[in-house]
Amino acid sequence: MNGCLRLLLILVAVSSANAAFAHVPIVGVGGVSGGLLHPYLVPAHAMSLLALGLFIGRQHEQGIALLAFATALIAGLVALTFAVGETLAGEVLLGNAAIVGILLAGAWIPPKPLTWIVAAVTGIAIALDSPPETTSIEEADLMLLGTGLGALSALGAVVGGAGYLTRPWQRLGVRIVGSWIAASAILVLALTLAR
C-alpha cells in the first residue's frame, strides 16, 4: 500500500470517528471496585502510569519517587473530596505523559529531583482527573479510595516489572514503548486542545 493511500485511509478513519468519553462509568461497578478499575480503564491514566513506572523502574533509587507520587495522589484525592472545581488535570496528565515518554525514548536518566517532580505531577493529575460520577458522597469517597489503591498498585507493578528489563533488547523495547506513549499523548493532547 503506497503512502498516499495510507494517509487517505487514516484521514477517513479520523474524520468519521465519534467522540470518545474517557470517564464512562461501568454499569453495576461502583464503590471501591469501580475506583480500583478506574486507573486501568481510562487510557490516559493507564498510559501515564505505564510511562512513569518504566521511568522510575530505570532509576537506582525508587523510594522517594514512589513516595512523591503517593503523596501527590493522596493530596489530589483529598482535594476532590472537598469538591475542588474543574481543573485542566487531563491536559496536564497528557503533557506529562508525553514528557516522560520522550525521556524514556531518549534513555536519559535525569537528576533525582526531576524524577520526583514528574512523579508528583503524575500523581496529582491522575487524582484530579478522577472525579467520581455518583450522587452519593459515601459512594464517591469509596470510589476515590479505590482509585488511589488502583493507581498505587498499577504503578508498583510496573516499577517492579521494569526492574527485570535489563537485557539490551528489553531496554530497546522500553525506549520504543516510551516513544509510542509520547506520540500517543501528543496526538491526544493536540486533538483535545484543537476543540
Q: What is the DSSP string of 103-154?
A: HHHTT----HHHHHHHHHHHHHHHHHT-----S-HHHHHHHHHHHHHHHHHH
End-to-end Cα spacing for the chain: 32
Residue 119: per-residue pLDDT? 93
Q: Could you count the other beta carbons within 10 Å of the beta carbon of residue 158?
A: 19
- Residue 13 counted as domain residue: no
pTM score: 0.81
- Residue 150 counted as domain residue: yes
Instruction: Give the domain extent around 129.
Output: 32-194
- Residue 38 counted as domain residue: yes
- Residue 130 counted as domain residue: yes
Residue that has been written with the C-alpha cell 512523591 in this structure: 68
- Residue 41 counted as domain residue: yes
195 residues of the chain, pLDDT tens digit each: 565 556 445 544 544 444 444 444 555 566 777 788 888 888 999 999 999 999 998 887 888 999 999 999 999 999 888 877 777 888 999 999 999 999 999 988 888 889 999 999 999 999 988 888 776 788 888 888 888 899 999 999 999 999 898 899 999 999 999 999 999 999 999 998 887
- Residue 97 counted as domain residue: yes
Helix ranges (DSSP H) in the chain: 3-15, 31-41, 43-57, 63-81, 89-105, 112-128, 137-162, 168-194
- Residue 164 counted as domain residue: yes
- Residue 57 counted as domain residue: yes
If one counts the domains in the chain, the total is: 1
Contact residues for 110 (Cβ-Cβ < 8 A; gap 6+)? 103
